[in-house]
């Protein structure tokens, strides 16, 4: 699992998908419309001349609501190739989805991810929650990870350099 900022995650996702596609089929669930199709095509082209072949290895399904994300997971039989989930929680941050429903849905999603990872690796990329009210969702997902990479938070506040020592 990889958690971090939007830009870093987009780049990480592109590189990860390109590397996995070199090795075989990859299933991609895009939860936040994060797939960068053209940069991905360029990343594939940097790695191989057989762009057409590799682009056929990437099988993409998009979810525009949290319910659809659950449907994607439930409707996937046992995996034979890696699964990459881009921005799993994006649709869960939708304000029109009640917090209680979001909690229940993510629990179901995590159960499905447990099932799928028995047969092939599952990579999850997360962008940090925009509101503290829904941060618990990210915590629930991160708890389930076997390996967790978290992008370090950089301080955005400007530090006035001091003229004086001490």
Partner 1 sequence: MGKVEKIGWLMDVYTRPSGELVCWLISEDGQRWLLTMAFPVTFCVAGNPSVLRQAWRFLQGRGAGCSRQVRRDLFEGERTVLAVTVDLPGRLPEVYRRLAQAFPGLDYYDADLPLSVRFVARTKVSLVGRCRFETDGQQLVGLQPLESAWEMQPSLPPLRLMEIDCDQDPALHPPQQIVIRCAKRCYRFSLQPLRAFLVNLQALLRIYDPDVILTRYGDTWLFPFLSETDPLFNPNRDEQMKVEFRRERSLFAYGQVLYRGAQALLFGRWHIDRCNAALFGEIGLAGALELARVSGLGVQEGVRKSPGAGITAMQMQTALQDGVLIPAVKQQAESARTLSRLIRYDRGGMVYQPLVGVHCHAAELDFASMYPAIMVRYNISPETLNKKDAPAGLIPRTLQPLLVKRLALKHCLRTLDRRDSRVSELKARQTALKWLLVVCFGYLGYKNARFGRVESHEAVTAISRELLLQAKESAEEMGFSVLHMYVDSLFVQREGAQSEQDFIPLVEQIQQQTGIGVTLEGVYRWLVFLPARRDRRIPVANRYFGVFEDGTLKYRGIAMRRHDTCQYVAETQLDILQCLAQADDPRERWREAWALVNQRVRLLQRRQVAADVLQMAVKLSRDPQSFRRPSAAAQAARQLQSQGVAVRAGMRLFFWFSRQGVSVTPPGANELDWNRYARLVMQAAAEMLDILQPVREVRQFHLPLSR
Partner 2 sequence: MGRTVPTVTCQLNETEAMLQSFRRTLRRSDQALLDGLLASARRHVAAISASGALLPFESALLAMLVEQARQIAALQQEISILQEDLVRLRDGKS
Residues lying near partner 2 in the complex (CB under 8 A): 30, 33, 35, 37-38, 41-42, 44-45, 51-52, 55, 62, 64
Region near partner 1 per CB under 8 A, out of 8-16, 54-62, 139-147, 157-165? 54-62
Residue of 101, 81, 82, 84 lying closest to 32 (CA atoms): 84
Could you give the CA distance from residue 101 to residue 121 in angstroms, rounded to a whole number? 27
Compare residues 104 and 149 and give the one whose CB is closer to partner 1.
104
Compare residues 63 and 138 and give the one whose CB is closer to partner 2.
63
Q: Which residue has the tokens 């969702």?
A: 137
| Binding residue for partner 1, selected from 15, 68, 111, 128, defined by CB under 8 A | 68
Buried b (16+ CB within 10 A) or exposed e, 101-116: ebeebbeebbebbebb
Q: Which residue has the tokens 């941060």?
A: 135
DSSP class of residue 132 equals G
| Binding residue for partner 1, selected from 11, 12, 22, 41, defined by CB under 8 A | 41
Q: Which residue has the tokens 């699992």?
A: 1
Residue of 97, 90, 21, 3 lying closest to 60 (CA atoms): 21
The distance of closest approach from Cβ of residue 35 to partner 2 in the complex, given in angstroms and rounded to an integer, is 6
Compare residues 81 and 148 and give the one whose CB is closer to partner 1.
81
Say how many CA atoms lie within 13 Å of 112 toward its Cβ: 18
The distance of closest approach from Cβ of residue 118 to partner 1 in the complex, given in angstroms and rounded to an integer, is 21
Region near partner 1 per CB under 8 A, out of 56-64, 111-119, 121-129, 149-157? 56-64
Binding interface with partner 1 (CB under 8 A): 27, 35, 37-38, 40-41, 52, 55-65, 67-72, 75, 95-96, 100-101, 104, 108
């Amino acid at each position: 699992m990889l958690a971090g900022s939007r830009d870093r995650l987009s780049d990480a996702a592109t590189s990860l998908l390109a590397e996995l596609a070199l090795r075989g089929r990859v299933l991609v669930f895009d939860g936040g419309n994060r797939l960068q199709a053209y940069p991905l095509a360029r990343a594939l082209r940097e790695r191989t001349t057989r762009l057409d072949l590799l682009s056929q290895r990437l099988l993409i399904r998009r979810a525009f609501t949290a319910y659809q994300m659950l449907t994607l997971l439930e409707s996937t039989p046992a995996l034979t190739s890696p699964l990459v989930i881009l921005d799993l929680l994006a649709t869960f941050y939708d304000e029109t989805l009640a917090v209680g429903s979001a909690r229940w849905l993510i629990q179901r999603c995590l159960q499905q991810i447990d099932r799928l990872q028995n047969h092939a690796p599952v990579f999850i990329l997360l962008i940090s929650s925009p509101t503290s009210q829904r941060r618990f969702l990210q915590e629930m997902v991160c708890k389930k990870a076997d390996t967790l990479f978290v992008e370090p938070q950089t301080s955005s506040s400007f530090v006035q350099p001091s003229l004086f020592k001490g």
